[in-house]
Amino acid sequence: MEMKRFLAPLALLSSGCALWFIVQGQGLGESALFWSLVTALVAGIALLGQRTPESSWLGQAPLSGMGLLVAILGVALASAHPMEWDWTKNRVESLAPETIALLESLEEDVEATLFFLEMGMGRTEAESLFEKASRFSPHLKWRMVNPRREPLLTNELGAREGTILLQSKGRTSRMNAIDEEALSNALLGLRGSRRIACFSRGHGEPPLHGDEGLGISRYLLQEKGIGTADVDLFKRPEVGCDVLILVGPTGVFQAPELETLSTLMNEIGLVILFEPGMGERYPLLDWLEGNGLMTSIWPVLDPLSQEMGFHPFQVLALSDALGKHPITSGIAENLVLSVVAVVGADENWESTPLVLSGDWTWEETDLEADEAQFDEGERNGPLPLALAAVEGDKRVVLVGDHDFVTDQVMEAIPSSGDLFLGMVRWSIGKGEIVALPPRDRGLAPLSLKAGDVRRLGFLYAGAILLLLGHGLGTHIARRRR
């Protein structure tokens, strides 16, 4: 009888060991069924010849043993067949429908090589991304390579720690970030569908480097899998542009250049970032107005910015004043636009304001006054400072400021980069995807991954063990009385 008294605790101990090995991913955890059978066998031996009232602790052992068995089998199944439940508001932990459609359309095998150390930064995120992606396409294969253990392969492929390469039939594409947008663009790159953003040059546009340069803007595009190129508008660009970006063009456009602009407007998206001429007209304004697009020559004045210590011509655009549009989706921070003009489009365009100035702002037309004040005839806020316009297949983004894409502002106000990326993505628009708009997490995100399910199973089994231990302690205390 004394030995039988310890057989039930032994069964509990064996069950706990089984759960521990499963959660830790040890080899013994793979034979969870074996541990379950051992538990049931030991519990059965403990009950043989034991005549106790049904209300005693051992009288409840069969039911408790079955509960433990179910818990162990559940955890074992979760380990062998991991599943995910995404209960977040907008399914932010799941792949977007666009990504899934791209994966399901794969017709050729794609091999992804992920170069990460055992405990390297980004390894967990990369594994999770490719585990999700591989479920939607049997053609996507991936492997993890430790660059320190396989230096020859790493050097041969020109990789380093954190590099992710996709290869298919002799073609190679590189992921520039660990997210599904980068994966989608890398897959498109294997198809030869990589998008190109072209920048005009030769009309007073900012340089590539320096505080007033566009280095960060170009880097952001390349990081999202969008190539960049400079083009000469005197002839049709030889590179296959998907969007043309004009940043602060103040110089004269010759007739051949304007003809190229008109041709490209009918074929690809345009992103035109202007700034007010402080009372003077820039040469490109006539071409814009001829196409039903307008930008003012006067700056918008913001007295609130002046009260906050900024220049009065630096307009504070609050996040809740952004227009409802895919370009501004997910931008939750305020913006600052310096020396910005009002923009507009005629009735032939279907236009949406992207950025609005505050109610307290106005368009200042008297730049010689000693003290700026709102005068009769001046337009007051809210005023459209940026818009997205569509006419048939034409897509144009027009902004009354270009400083927000320069390196100095990008470093100080990160949301400027989000706005610029949104503009380029939307302008490319047609054809295959190049971007996945941010999805709001909502107030109470909950996502259960395979590891979470195993931990919940362990917690559930632990609760059962705790209850059984409490019952055992109560039983022993009563026997001693």
Q: Looking at residue 293, what is its pLDDT? A: 94
Residues 117 and 234 in one domain: no
Q: Does residue 10 form part of some domain?
A: yes
Residues 335 and 285 in one domain: yes
Q: Looking at residue 15, what is its pLDDT? A: 56
Mean pLDDT by runs of 10 across the 481 residues of the chain is 51 56 44 49 50 49 58 61 57 78 88 90 90 91 93 88 89 82 80 80 82 85 82 81 90 90 92 82 88 90 79 76 82 83 93 90 81 81 91 92 90 88 84 49 51 64 67 70 64
pLDDT tens digits along 371-417:
777 888 889 878 999 999 999 989 999 999 998 999 888 888 888 88
pTM given for the model: 0.61
Residues 227 and 370 in one domain: yes
Overall number of domains in the chain: 3
Decide which of 172, 190, 208 is a domain's last residue: 190
Q: Does residue 420 form part of some domain?
A: yes
Q: Looking at residue 75, what is its pLDDT? A: 61
Residues 200 and 186 in one domain: no
Residues 115 and 57 in one domain: no
Q: Which residue carries 């103040």 as its tokens? A: 250
Residues 472 and 392 in one domain: no
Residues of the domain holding 224:
196-428
Residues 104 and 66 in one domain: no
Residues 457 and 354 in one domain: no
Q: Looking at residue 441, what is its pLDDT? A: 47
CATH code for the domain of 134 = 3.40.30.10
Decide which of 190, 222, 255 is a domain's last residue: 190
Residues 120 and 149 in one domain: yes
Residues 271 and 404 in one domain: yes
Q: Looking at residue 199, what is its pLDDT? A: 93
Q: Looking at residue 175, what is its pLDDT? A: 83
Decide which of 171, 190, 209 is a domain's last residue: 190
Residues 200 and 165 in one domain: no
What counts of helices (H) and strands (E) characterise the chain? Answer: 14, 18
pLDDT tens digits along 76-95:
665 555 555 555 556 667 78
CATH code for the domain of 225 = 3.40.50.880
Residues 256 and 385 in one domain: yes
